[in-house]
Structure 1
Amino acid sequence: MKADTTLAILAGGRASRMDGKDKGLITVAGRPMVQHVLSRVRPEGMATLIIANRNQDAYRALGFPVFGDERADYPGPMAGMEVALQQAETPFVVVCPCDTPRLPPDLIERLHQTQQAQQADVVVANDGEWDHPVILLLKRELLPSMQAFLSSGERKIAVWYRQHTLARCTFSGQANDFANINTPEQCQQMEQALANNDPL
């Protein structure tokens, strides 16, 4: 699994609801959010990329290659996925956002299990009720399809998914693990939850 997979952390958003602060670098429970994500889901030795459009030196200090979107005007998370597929050298890429600091530690393993069981092109994490469309496993060979989709002006991830064999990896009863931070209030709630190891 480690040898055939690259982990890509998306940290390229504008964070408009966080007063424009770079979410991945916001400190929660003593560490930047991006470090929580890395420590929870990344197996030792797995190739890792960070996709960031700002503060690239700060992200690079974590010890991983950093790349920015190649498309102008912040076209959304698919632009970051495109860069991840371009830069990865492995058959599979697992994508996670930088603002989900409580992801399940077995996330990558279970995404792979679902991919193998269903021979899917795309595997999306699901908490039993909702899909989490930017927490997923992709085949790197999907890059030309994604490039064509974005070049056509499309941006909706769910529309692109439907062009491929899609599977859902279900984490029933673990909705809290997929909570993301979009506002200062949510940041405070997550700080307390992480400090106390409590559910949100």
Structure 2
Amino acid sequence: MSISLDDIAGVILAGGMGRRMGGVDKGLRNFKNAPLALHAMMRLNGQVGDICINANRNIGVYEGFGVEVVCDVQPDYAGPLAGMQAALAHTNLPYLVTVPCDVPMFPLNLVEKLSAPFEKNVGLMLTVASTKGRHHPVFCMMRTELLPNMEEFLRKGGRKIDAWYANIPHEAVEFDDEAAFHNVNTLEELKELEQKS
């Protein structure tokens, strides 16, 4: 039986410090005349039943996108795992899909592919996108019952997503288009991607 869209929440992770972009809020940098986070939201729209944005500054601007904004519970910009924790605590749906704000061209069948293994494997807890055998840990789908496990990992000082899910039943899902997962770290990379697409 396939997983219903209404059972899947999505979060756009825009809670970082944007250090490599000079400390600006990366999710609000323009790409093709719209903020990066808005591009991510529009791509995720229709793939999930509910969307929120994880952000730690410019909250009012993100709320202007018309979705709920959740802030990290962890202090000091603890990274994408802290954003995932905030979204897990926020949603009451059984599944959560996470995407970063700085990958404006991720696949339109992302959730469809990430959800498929759950239908065959009842013990599966998490799926992660992969290209050529390389995992993209910020693109994952997880059961929301993983929240206590994640909270314990964060409490112990853990920060890396792949270190967190290493001991959880998970499966990598292969995608063909490696460029679709290219993230933008600098203003130069943002300009480059605009010219290419």
| TM-score tier after normalising by the smaller chain length | over 0.9
In structure 1, what is the Cα distance between the partners aligned to 2:182 and 2:17? 19
Q: Which segments of 5 or more consecutive residues in structure 1 lack a partner in the other structure?
A: 195-200
Within a 5 Å distance, the mapping from 1:1-200 to structure 2 comes to 1-43=4-46, 46-119=49-122, 120-172=124-176, 174-194=177-197
Output one character per residue of 1:149-192: Cα deviation in whole Å (capped at 9) or x when no partner.
Answer: 101111122221122101011102x0000011001110001111
For the structure 1 residues 116 and 128, does the alpha-carbon distance in structure 2 shift closer, same or farther, using more than 3 Å as the test?
A: farther
For the structure 1 residues 67 and 185, does the alpha-carbon distance in structure 2 shift closer, same or farther, using more than 3 Å as the test?
A: same
Equivalent residue pairs, number: 193
Q: Report the TM-score, using the length of structure 2 for normalisation.
A: 0.94
Shift of 1:124: 0.4
Tell me which amino acid in the other structure corresponds to 2:117.
T
In structure 2, what is the Cα distance between the partners aligned to 1:41 and 1:101? 10
Tell me which amino acid in the other structure corresponds to 1:66.
V
**Identical columns (%):** 36
Shift of 1:18: 0.3
User: Any idea what SS the aligned residue of 1:167 has?
Assistant: strand
Output one character per residue of 1:33-66: Cα deviation in whole Å (capped at 9) or x when no partner.
Answer: 1111122232177211100001011100000000
Q: Report the TM-score, using the length of structure 1 for normalisation.
A: 0.92
Tell me which amino acid in the other structure corresponds to 2:80.
P
For the structure 1 residues 44 and 135, does the alpha-carbon distance in structure 2 shift closer, same or farther, using more than 3 Å as the test?
A: closer
The answer to whether the 8 Å contact 1:118/1:167 transfers is no
The residue number in structure 2 matching 1:197 is none
In structure 2, what is the Cα distance between the partners aligned to 1:127 and 1:141? 27
> What CA RMSD, in Å, does the superposition of the two structures yield over aligned residues?
1.3
